[in-house]
A and B are shown apart, each in its own frame.
Chain A
Amino acid sequence: MQLYYIDNTRYWLSALSLLLLASNKAFYNKTNLADNLHITSYSTINNNTVYSNGDAVFENSGVDTGAFLLAAYQFLEIKYPKFYKMDGLSKLGLLASEVLLKDHSVGEQYRENEVGIVLTNANASLDADIKYFEGAKTVASPALFVYTLPNIVIGEISIKNKFKGENAFFVFEQFDAAFVHRYVSYLLNNNILQACICGWVDLLQDDYKAVLYLVEKNEHKTSIPFTADNMNNIYLFNKI
């Protein structure tokens, strides 16, 4: 009897702890708002190829970065003359954002200050810095100088799409998905933004890579969960 009692207690205790675990899990899912954020679309521009949601949509090998970006601009039929006066970093970021937003008109869905941009890279604006510096040996150009700040690419994407929400530019030696995930989750979970373009846009001479994510609170048919792991897989392997 005594033995039975103990065993019984043990049974109920373990059942109770299982129940607690299950309800904790439900509670966690309900309250961890980061679970309710979604990657609506993603884009990559690297190695003379433009990818949309993991699929190559344009390739133009054997040309330099400038010629490739121009060819991609023409292929994507963006028709935005301001593109021509931009520096390489802004061109790269703008093209990646156009691919990202192609089937997602976030500008129409949300108020202008509900959409923001958080970008990161390793070389800040060094590509534009070198071009301005070389030019300034003869005459300093304001048109080049304005691009000697990495956040100008954010300004260009904002102007094109009339996005007026939170924006920030961080420099990392390597892409830090965990930080970007945390920072963007804060902005969406606290209702500072409803949608955010985030990711990596880096360009220095012929080395370049852009990987952007459109993150929303709203879920779409093709949405994937907004997690640091998914961001990393997309960054590294172009798929989740």
Chain B
Amino acid sequence: MNNVFVVADNITSPVGNTAAENFGQLVKGNSGVKQHHDGAKSASPFYASLFAADQFIANDIYTKFEQLLIASVTDALKNCDINAADPKTVLIVSTTKGNISMLETAGDDPDLKERIALHTSAKLLAENFGFVNQPLIVSHACISGLVAMITGLRLLQTGQYENAVVVGADVITRFVLSGFQSFQAISSAPCKPFDATRDGINLGEGAATVILSANPKYANHIKLVGGSISNDANHISGPSKTGEELFFAIDAALKSAGIKPEEIDFISAHGTATAYNDEMEAKAINLAGMQQIPINSLKGYYGHTLGASGLIEAIIAINSLEQNTIIPTKGFHELGVTQPINVAAQLIETPLTSCLKTASGFGGCNAAIVLTK
């Protein structure tokens, strides 16, 4: 099967508008999470990483969600020679809630069903850049971004396409915030992944793009070498009690990459900072025998960006490999999971060659990918 390389990337977030800008801010310890008083989203103040009110305003053609997708893909394409209109190039879009805010703003519109549909957004995006193939859309809860990357990997490995532009975005609306609030899942302070005092998530907005290619001329780029997806078959809104199924995904991703657990230099975890998620992840990491390997969560910088999170965090991992720098877990002070794991609390500068990135989500889904130099 073909090797698959990461040709270009972008992160468009409250932290910055390019991948380099985002990585630079994280190295400095800067976060997009802050307290918001916004009655339109929530009656009570809440912590989240949100764009300023004057950024990505919906116009007659594109919603905020679609403008985020466009901004992210535009920057990623600018940084490489991949042609969107090439018949060998496919567009893959990842999101959980897309244009859901239209229920609030356009609820009476008879065309709502069509306009709110994810395939409408994908079509607008494809037309904007001149993609000729039908775009693919992944909507698979909080692992969407990694499922989109794994889909791109498989299509390129088998020669179905040569290049894949994989983009994800989500916007934080009253709909999403009220839902997580109803689950009592939102922290009343900046989130603390894996910490003893963690008490829930912060939400975040953002978009991210990775451009993948099987063209050997990019052989000196970071490689996406493996990926796997599993299901807990346990509960639709709570993670596995054993972590066994996330371990299945980690194990299968490593095997598909031909890499042993001990060859991984760092792990980019999901680390939402809920009691149950972080505990489950710690168990899975121990089942994989990877508890000594430095592990981080980036939710303290971005909040949980839902369908964009897998992509944003994978791109930071890619930049970490390139810069030989592991980003510390913002908000973490004292280990608060029952199994030992090596949470990166400080910036680590050390030679890095390979990374495991994981994610888990509602519906009991888990995903893992492996990136190498």
Give the contacting residue for B154; candidates A122, A145, A167, A183; CB below 8 A: A183
Q: Is B290 an interface residue (CB 8 A)?
A: no
Q: Are A142 and B182 in contact (CB under 8 A)?
A: yes
Give the contacting residue for A151; candidates B119, B123, B175, B363; CB below 8 A: B363
Q: Is A57 an interface residue (CB 8 A)?
A: no
Chain A residues whose CB sits within 8 angstroms of the CB of B139 once the complex forms: 124-125, 149-151, 169-171
Q: Are B179 and A142 in contact (CB under 8 A)?
A: yes
CA distance A133 to B117 in the complex (A): 16
Q: Is B100 an interface residue (CB 8 A)?
A: yes
**Stretch of A9-17, A70-78, A95-103, A172-180 lying at the B interface:** A172-180
Chain B, interface SS category:
mixed
Give the contacting residue for B236; candidates A133, A146, A150; CB below 8 A: A146
Q: Is A43 an interface residue (CB 8 A)?
A: no
CA distance A156 to B21 in the complex (A): 41
Q: Is B78 an interface residue (CB 8 A)?
A: no
Chain A CB within 10 A, most for which of B179, B231, B364: B231
Q: Is A141 an interface residue (CB 8 A)?
A: yes
CA distance A162 to B234 in the complex (A): 8
Give the contacting residue for B137; candidates A112, A129, A152, A171; CB below 8 A: A171
Chain B residues whose CB sits within 8 angstroms of the CB of A149 once the complex forms: 96, 139-141, 361-363
Q: Is B252 an interface residue (CB 8 A)?
A: yes
CA distance A90 to B118 in the complex (A): 19
CA distance A102 to B189 in the complex (A): 50
Q: Is A123 an interface residue (CB 8 A)?
A: yes
Chain A residues whose CB sits within 8 angstroms of the CB of B232 once the complex forms: 155, 158, 164
Q: Are B138 and A169 in contact (CB under 8 A)?
A: yes
Question: Quick one: closest A residue to B178, CB to CB?
Answer: A140
User: A198 CB to closest chain B CB, in angstroms?
Assistant: 14
User: A220 CB to closest chain B CB, in angstroms?
Assistant: 24
Can you identify 6 A-B contacts, CB atoms within 8 angstroms? A117-B231, A124-B118, A145-B179, A165-B230, A167-B229, A173-B117
Residues of A within 8 A of B (CB): 112-113, 116-117, 122-126, 129-130, 132-133, 136, 140-142, 145-146, 148-152, 154-156, 158-159, 161-173, 176, 179, 182-183, 186, 192, 204
Residues of B within 8 A of A (CB): 96-98, 100, 103-104, 113, 116-119, 122-123, 134, 136-141, 147, 151, 154, 158, 160, 175, 178-183, 228-237, 245, 248, 252, 361-365
With A156-B236, A164-B231, A204-B113 known, 6 other A-B pairs at CB within 8 A are A116-B231, A126-B117, A149-B96, A152-B362, A158-B231, A159-B233
